[in-house]
Amino acid sequence: MTTTDAHAIAPPRLVSHLSGWLGAWPPQQPPVVVGNPRNSRPGWDGAVHPVTGVATPDGAAVVGVPQEHVAAARAVAADLPSLLRGLPHALGKPEARVYAGVFRWSTSPAPLPDAGVWLAAEDPSVPEWLRPFGGEVLMARDRDGRYLAGVGIKRHDAHGRELAVVTEAAAQGKGLARRLVAQAARRVLDEGAVPTYLHDPANVASARVAEAAGFPDVGWQVLGLFTTAP
């Protein structure tokens, strides 16, 4: 995929989201490193995420970092592998590592039947993992009102909303997750944003949910910094 292809296949809503979330768009080769104020401020979860990047299969990428680390990060950005290796030291976090996940989006969610109801995140029936998302969350419950599966929305900005889904072990294998993701995606699109879905490449179950819900894998990667240090 060329840089032009990457730009061409991204719908306008996604372009608007990536331009702000990363700090620039489209991607280039060698990777573009930009100073983005967002990488120094708390994100949707209240945590600071010093690296946000998206890369395409040809090694083109845009990577946002705090402004004070731009020069050091650009110095190791000869190509994408070099950037991934060198970013932790460039950011002064040698104990960290850069991870690469699968980046998906959808403008045509699968026409699956709805499976859940929207509830305020602070509703007493909402499980703890869903509460930090705030706003409304999507939940599937059994006849007795017990939680089976749910979707939270990471509201990165007005243009991009990332979906996260978790299903109870006893309820897995029944198609709940894909139906909930498609249902949530339709709502995000109705609100004028584009739904995104990110997951680890090794998470086969999550990949299957995404495909079934109408989120194809076009070979894009999401880049971020993982560290257990404070």
Question: Which tokens sit at 129?
Answer: 């993992």
Residues 78 and 151 in one domain: no
Under a CB-based contact definition with an 8 Å cutoff, are residues 210 and 76 in contact?
no
| Whole-prediction pTM | 0.94
Domain match, 167 and 90 both: no
Among left, alpha and beta (phi > 0; psi -120 to 50; other), residue 190 is alpha
Residue 120: Cβ within 10 Å count: 12
- Determine the pLDDT at residue 227: 79
The verdict on residue 112 lying in a domain is: no
167 and 91 share one domain: no
CATH classification at residue 180: 3.40.630.30
Domain with 46 in it: 3-105+222-226
Question: pLDDT value at position 7?
Answer: 63
pLDDT digits (tens, 9 = 90+) for 111-128: 999 999 999 999 999 999
133 and 66 in a single domain? The answer is no
Cα 8 to Cα 26: distance, rounded to the nearest angstrom: 9
Indicate if the pLDDT at residue 36 is higher than 60: yes
- For every residue of 195-217, DSSP letters joined together read EEEEE-TT-HHHHHHHHHHT---
Q: Are residues 8 and 100 in the same domain?
A: yes
Q: What is the mean pLDDT of residues 154-178?
A: 95
Residue 55 CA to residue 58 CA, distance in Å, equals: 8
Rounded CA-CA distance 39/22 in Å is 9
DSSP code of residue 113: P
In a domain, 145, yes or no: yes
What is residue 4's predicted lDDT score, i.e. its pLDDT?
46
Q: Where are the alpha helices (DSSP H) in the chain?
A: 3-9, 12-22, 70-74, 80-90, 176-190, 204-213
110 is a domain residue: no
**pLDDT at residue 6, as a whole number:** 66
Other beta carbons within 10 Å of 37: 10
Q: What percent of the chain has pLDDT over 90?
A: 93
